[in-house]
Amino acid sequence: MADDFLVALILAGGRSSRMGRDKALIPVAGVPLLRRVVEAAGSCCQQVYVLTPWPERYQAVGGSYNLLMETNPGQGPMVALATGLSQIDCVWLLLLACDLPQLQPDILRGWKEQLTLVPPSHLAMIPRHGSRWEPLCGFYRHQALESLQEFMATVERSLQRWLDQVPVTPISVGTVESQMLLNCNTPEDLRAIASEGTSANL
Ligand SMILES: Nc1nc2c(ncn2[C@@H]2O[C@H](COP(=O)(O)OP(=O)(O)OP(=O)(O)O)[C@@H](O)[C@H]2O)c(=O)[nH]1
């Protein structure tokens, strides 16, 4: 069977220490954050995976997704991305944090359309904001795995620094996209979203 062209990997194994409780399960406009991300991912990807050391916590979040058990947790997003790539057959993988309440499916689908234009030598297509990448809402080729493993062998664990060193197609980020990329780390972030109302179109 042919590999899926695009799958999503949602990371739900962080400590949520700034939030003080599990971010993935916090409802925003009545819908748990993880479910919002699952549904946005499902609108443009053939399969959606959630990587977590606590699959039992997320069994009943709702939406359509596969839980992937993380046996080496707490190593951060770069290790988690490599873990996902080593377990999933695909051409491209859309990596998403679980704390993106304002993802817009139409923007994600527009970005997906651009994947066919990425030069074969480029390992990723990632939103870029000024001098910063947004690696937790970005697209990675399956072939990136080898390069990630080599990079991590030097004890580096920074996706920002890896992206600075390999060929990457940047996605330019305007006002709408930058709103969509705002994540939710603290109770203050949650209050700001609640008071503004979320623009997520889920
Ligand atoms: N599966 C997995 N996800 C991770 C890991 N580290 C971070 N994440 C996820 O990566 C995303 C961004 O994480 P952060 O907000 O930077 O870190 P966090 O640990 O969740 O939160 P803080 O403790 O407040 O820093 C979230 O979706 C996290 O759940 C990890 O080791 N494994």
Beta carbons within 8 Å of 22's beta carbon, 6+ residues apart: 16, 57
Query: Over 50: is that where the pLDDT of 171 sits?
Result: yes
Q: What is residue 198's predicted lDDT score, i.e. its pLDDT?
A: 55
User: Mean pLDDT for the chain?
Assistant: 94
At residue 197 the predicted structure's pLDDT band, cuts being 50, 70 and 90, is: low
Evaluate whether residue 20 is within a structural domain: yes
Evaluate whether residue 13 is within a structural domain: yes
What whole-number distance in Å separates Cα of residue 118 and Cα of residue 123?
Answer: 9
Binding site membership of 101 for ligand 1 (Cβ less than 6 Å): no
Total count of domains within the chain: 1
Query: Over 80: is that where the pLDDT of 191 sits?
Result: yes
User: Which tokens is 69 given?
Assistant: 């058990």
Q: What is residue 200's predicted lDDT score, i.e. its pLDDT?
A: 43
pLDDT tens per residue across span 103-158: 999 999 999 999 999 999 999 999 999 999 999 999 999 999 999 999 999 988 99
| DSSP SS3 for 189 | helix
Binding site membership of 160 for ligand 1 (Cβ less than 6 Å): no
Evaluate whether residue 173 is within a structural domain: yes
Paired with 62 in beta bridges are none
Evaluate whether residue 142 is within a structural domain: yes
What whole-number distance in Å separates Cα of residue 142 and Cα of residue 148?
Answer: 10
* Beta strand residue intervals within 42-122, DSSP E: 47-52, 66-69, 90-97
Evaluate whether residue 202 is within a structural domain: no
Please name the residue that has the structure tokens 């993802």.
103
| DSSP SS3 for 69 | strand
Evaluate whether residue 97 is within a structural domain: yes
| DSSP one-letter code for 117 | G
| CATH number of the domain residue 23 falls in | 3.90.550.10
Evaluate whether residue 85 is within a structural domain: yes
Binding site membership of 169 for ligand 1 (Cβ less than 6 Å): no
Evaluate whether residue 171 is within a structural domain: yes
User: What percentage of the chain has pLDDT greater than the value 90?
Assistant: 91
- Is 11 annotated in a binding site? The answer is yes
Q: Give the domain extent around 154.
A: 4-196
More confident residue, 194 or 161: 161
For residue 1, report the distance from its CA to the centre of ligand 1, in Å.
33
User: Which of the listed residues 95, 98, 181, 182 should we mutate to test ligand 1's pocket, taking the one with most ligand atoms within 8 A of CB?
Assistant: 98
Beta carbons within 8 Å of 162's beta carbon, 6+ residues apart: 78, 147, 148, 151, 156
